[in-house]
Amino acid sequence: MLLSDHILFLDGEALVIDKPAGLPVDAPRDGSLSLENHLDSLRFGFKRWPLPVHRLDRDTSGCLLLARNPKAHGRFTRAFEERAVEKQYLAILDGVPAGDRGIIDLPLGKTSTAEQGWRMVVDPKGKPSVSHWEKLAEAGGRALLRFRPETGRTHQLRVHALEGLGFPIVGDPVYGKGGAKDRTMLHAERLVVKRDVKPPVIAEAPFPDRFVALGFAAPEGAAPTRG
């Protein structure tokens, strides 16, 4: 796999890749491959490796922003912290929620037990977490949704799908019925980061083949599947 073939946006300070599902951003404890193993191939003439600005879960595919220098990394990090970034995700739910669209406003906190390990839960004293959603299609008793999160909490969409809509994301091993060989059906579809002087960073990731395999076609306006 060559991540240099997955470039969605590239200029002097920003790089957006279409991260494959199954590739972790941070190096796993078991020593298996991660994004770090591919950074040298993403220098494109720069001496420094690009650095990821945010995180996507191992199974989540799609738009991942990397900064090509430390100053840009600082600016992009602040943009995420100040909610100045537009994010869109696609997800396949293991069921069909009522209604066509809505807003999920459920604060989230972290919990940990010896039996289940750590996970995120709805917690009235947790951090504010808001997600907008709309239903795009149905197939085989499942629904394709588009999420637009206002906040960026850990596992936010995965918990909001289950607790806010009543159905987990297909393949989710923590909040759903996913097993060791399953992939969570979550895809970072679009990313827009505004900049002061330069034009905004705008990236759209192709509709995933794994979504097509479950009976869904790319929604209107989405980037086509990778050919």
User: What amino acid positions are annotated as catalytic residues?
Assistant: 57
Category of 83 on φ-ψ map: left (φ > 0), alpha (ψ -120 to 50) or beta: left
Please state the φ and ψ torsions of residue 105, each to the nearest 5 degrees.
-125, 90
Category of 158 on φ-ψ map: left (φ > 0), alpha (ψ -120 to 50) or beta: alpha
Q: What are the helix (H) ranges across 32-151?
A: 70-81
Instruction: In whole angstroms, give the CA distance from residue 180 to residue 97.
Output: 26
CB neighbour list of residue 6: distance below 8 Å, 6 or more residues apart: 17, 18, 19, 20
Q: Which of 220, 217, 159, 219 is nearest to 184 (CA)?
A: 159
Please state the φ and ψ torsions of residue 161, each to the nearest 5 degrees.
-60, -45
H/E stretch holding 159 reads helix 156-165
* Contact yes or no for 81/54 (Cβ under 8 A): no
